[in-house]
Amino acid sequence: MTETAPTAERQLTRPVTISVGGVERVFDIEEPKLPEWVTDAALTDGGYPYDEKMPRKAYEQRLEALQIELVKLQYWLQASGERVMILFEGRDAAGKGGTIARIRKYMNPRSARNVALSKPSETERGQWYFQRYVAHFPTSGEFVTFDRSWYNRGGVEPVMGFCTPAEHARFLEETPDFERAICNDGIHFFKFWLNIGQVTQLKRFHDRRHDPLKTWKFSPIDVAGMTKWDDYTQKRDLMIARTHTEHAPWTVVRANDKRRARLAAMRRILLTLPYAGRDLAAIGEEDPRIIGSGPRALD
């Protein structure tokens, strides 16, 4: 008999009991079929304002129009020497990597690059916390995205015990000044939080676990995180409240539907930057049900 996972891994991914909307649920990620309480609520969870995904044809048409604008944006960066840096944050499976991939798909990789750092080395752990990120900041004409960033210390690290309470408190105190220096140096700086519902996350974890092309994205730490939803929420809310500033605001994107979320993030970037040849009609208007700013947008 062939098991879904090796014995050791199976023990790490055993069924977990979680509280979803105040109701205790048992979730077994190794079970191939999703329970109905997940499939029925995966899109609308957390008060998501749409009960259907954006139609694929409409999405692809709008996506292409925005990707054309991003190519124009890159020409402007190369001609002007301006610099862009964009952080994508969110819970595990929020869609950060997919959003970044669509943004960068047709941009020249020589000057549009993504940064996705692994856990710090021994040397990096002995450095100033922000130091290893600064090394990847954009130079003249560059467009740089971060798939997670220094905000690991605002959420994942304190929840999972990877930093001390004192280190977490110092991070919250120092980050606004650190980001003020970024903006004062002339970098066009964006911070996106992709916000998903708890049931949405469970479905995406399950999809990863059972898709042979995506299973590399799934790890036992994801299982540990499933039982810490409320802890993550508390740290997220504190982080955004303390680091949402006039010079470096948080843009919150409701991301239960990946298609709408990707378009919303692209639009915000394109509507903010004054690049040559910008076509406002092609970019379109923002959907206030999907995108907002700061702590209030989390409600």
Write the DSSP assignment of 13-46 as a string of letters: T--EEEEETTEEEEE-TTSSSPPHHHHTTTTTGG
Provide the token pair at 106.
């047709």
Return the domain boundaries, the chain: 7-298
- Contacts with 162 (C-beta within 8 Å, 6 or more apart), sequence order: 156
- Inform me whether the pLDDT recorded for 100 exceeds 80: yes
168: which 2 tokens? 């977490």
7-298 under CATH 3.40.50.300, yes or no: yes
Q: What is the pTM of this model?
A: 0.94
Q: For 84-97, what is the mean pLDDT?
A: 97
Whole-angstrom Cα distance, residue 248 to residue 261?
20
* Residue 157: predicted pLDDT: 96
The alpha carbon dihedral of 54, 59, 62, 63 has a sign of: positive
131's tokens: 């130091």
What is the DSSP secondary structure assignment for residue 128, as one 8-state letter? -
pLDDT beyond 50 at 3 = no
7 vs 140, residue with greater confidence: 140
Residue with structure tokens 């290893």?
Answer: 132
230-276 pLDDT, tens digit each: 999 999 999 999 999 999 999 999 999 999 999 999 999 999 999 99
pLDDT, mean over the chain: 93
pLDDT at 13: 64
